[in-house]
Amino acid sequence: MTNILVTGGAGYIGAHACKALRDAGFTPVAFDNLATGWAEAVRFGPFVQGDLLNPSDIAAAFERFRPAAVMHFAALSLVGESMSDPGQYWRANVNGALNLIEAALAAGCTNVVFSSTCAVYGEHGGGALDETTARNPINAYGASKRAIEDMLRDFDAAHGLRHVIFRYFNVAGADPQAEVGERHEPETHLIPLVLEAAAGRRPAITVFGTDYPTPDGTCIRDYVHVCDLVDAHVLGLKWLLDGGESQVFNLGTGHGYSVREVIDAAREVTGQDIPVIEAPRRAGDATRLVSGGERAARVLGWRPSRSSLPAMIGDAWRWHRKMARIV
Ligand code: UDP
């Protein structure tokens, strides 16, 4: 069996990636410091509790498991928090990635699948964003991811570190079997918060900004199902293992939905009333982030199949109700 080191393997996307890797015949080795991840989410392969800011933890994982590639998910990823505490983002994300890359190269591992973000693009007047769009992040989270993209490029040029960069749009949904799902403490993301309001676990959903230049005044985002997203990662991994060159891919569907449209879809799926509180804009939020790229379809043959709003919200709702029974 081929081992793949999955940093952040106890987190939301990392845990789904571990399941997809296991299903594709790989052994996912989850590496996580459990700062934001959950040990219970590691179900599909071995677990290493370690920290990317501690190089000896990473070296030990490479020594023990000799992975053929790394999938690098571990990161701080909250736009709002990155604006109020940028130092934490630069330290954890950029220093952590540098330690990981150096440890991989020292162990002779030259294949990296990296989790980047559409936040690297910033504001582009609402136009479609493809992989060639200039990167002008407007928050520290996006800036830290841009720095890591540049780091990968430089290490490729100097040391042959082949990599696939995936720029995610808004990841949503959960494993349809509800073995794993989205679990953040505290929760800040729109869809899980809307579902908590639907379940009566919070009084209302707060809408951040109703004066954006969009048809209903709220921000527009391109939501992609986490299972579709991790399927792309398995395709990207195989691309590298088959000798493909370094590449950047957007992962989005090309369809944008406003915050109000998401809330309306959640009302439909759950059959619940969801009260709304209108609030000012949240710092660092771009008006519209929608993928215009088709490269993942063309090069990797990626076809998202569960990324409709009802499917994403329905899968997230099933997971949410399961968690509500357990926690
Ligand atoms: N949002 C909102 N209320 C919330 C959380 C998010 O109105 O309680 C909005 C947010 O301003 C953004 C969209 O929902 O326009 C998606 O935010 P999320 O935090 O889910 O993901 P992000 O786009 O920051 O990665």
pLDDT digits (tens, 9 = 90+) for 201-249: 999 999 999 999 999 999 999 999 999 999 999 999 999 999 999 999 9
Closest CA to 71 of 132, 119, 14: 14
Token pair listed for 309: 């709003």
Which range marks the domain in which residue 267 is found?
Answer: 190-221+254-294+301-326
**pLDDT tens digits, 4-48:** 999 999 999 999 999 999 999 999 999 999 999 999 999 999 999
Residues with CB under 6 A from ligand 1: 79, 170, 188-190, 193, 205-208, 219, 221, 259, 282, 285
Residue from 118, 216, 259 to probe ligand 1 pocket by mutation (most atoms less than 8 Å from CB)? 259
Examine the domain organization and report whether 40 and 114 are in the same domain.
yes
Q: At what angle do helices 190-198 and 309-326 cross, to 10 degrees?
A: 60
Assess whether 21 and 150 both reside in one domain. Answer: yes
**Residues 119 and 205 reside in one and the same domain:** no
Q: What is the mean pLDDT of each run of 10 residues along the chain (327 residues)?
A: 97 98 98 97 98 98 98 96 96 98 98 97 87 96 98 98 98 97 93 97 97 97 98 98 98 97 98 98 92 94 98 98 81
Structural domain includes residue 178? no
Whether 209 and 65 share a structural domain: no
141 is known as an active-site residue: yes
Neighbour-count burial of 312, counting CB atoms closer than 10 A to its CB (0-12 exposed, 13-18 middle, 19+ buried): buried
Nearest residue by C-alpha to atom 18 in ligand 1? 189
Residue 234 maps to which CATH number? 3.40.50.720
Selected catalytic residue, list 12, 89, 121, 141: 141
Structural domain contains residue 180: no
- Candidate from 189, 257, 260, 291 with most ligand 1 atoms within 8 A of CB, to mutate: 189
Q: What CATH number does the domain containing 306 carry? A: 3.90.25.10
Ligand 1 center–CA 325 separation, angstroms: 26
In the structure encoding, which two tokens stand for residue 45, read together?
């392969």
**Pair (241, 275) in one structural domain:** no
Give yes or no: residues 227 and 213 share one domain.
no
Residue 57: name the closest of 88, 21, 32 by CA: 32
Q: Are residues 210 and 112 in the same domain?
A: no
What is the helix (H) or strand (E) element at residue 167, kind and residue range?
A: strand 162-168
Cβ-Cβ contacts under 8 Å for 185 (sequence gap 6 or more): 36
Indicate if 211 and 229 belong to the same structural domain. no
Residue 177 lies in a domain: no
Could you tell me the distance, in angstroms and rounded to a whole number, from the CA of residue 282 to the centre of ligand 1? 8
Q: How far apart are CA 292 and CA 44, in angstroms?
A: 34
* Domain presence at residue 138: yes
> Which phi and psi (to 5°) does residue 247 adopt?
-150, 160
Query: Does residue 185 belong to any structural domain of this protein?
Result: no
- Cα of 155 from ligand 1 centre, angstroms: 34
Neighbour count for residue 9 (Cβ, 10 Å): 30
Specify whether 237 is located in the same domain as 273. Answer: no
Residues 54 and 101 in one domain: yes
pTM of the entire structure? 0.97
Determine contact, residues 295/250, Cβ cutoff 8 Å: yes
Pocket mutation for ligand 1, best pick of 210, 221, 258, 262 (most atoms within 8 Å of C-beta): 221
CB contact set of 277 (below 8 Å; sequence gap of 6+): 204, 205, 206, 207
177: Cβ contacts below 8 Å, ≥ 6 apart: none
The number of folded domains in the chain is: 2
- Does residue 105 fall inside a structural domain? yes
Q: What residues are paired with 249 via a beta bridge?
A: 166
Count of residues in the chain: 327
> Distance (Å, rounded) from C-alpha 69 to C-alpha 238?
10
Q: Are 112 and 195 in a shared domain?
A: no
For residues 168 and 273, state if they share a domain.
no
Q: Kindly state whether residue 57 falls inside one of the protein's structural domains.
A: yes
Q: Distance from the CA of 209 to the center of ligand 1, in angstroms?
A: 10
Element spanning 323, H or E: helix 309-326
Indicate whether 232 belongs to any domain. yes
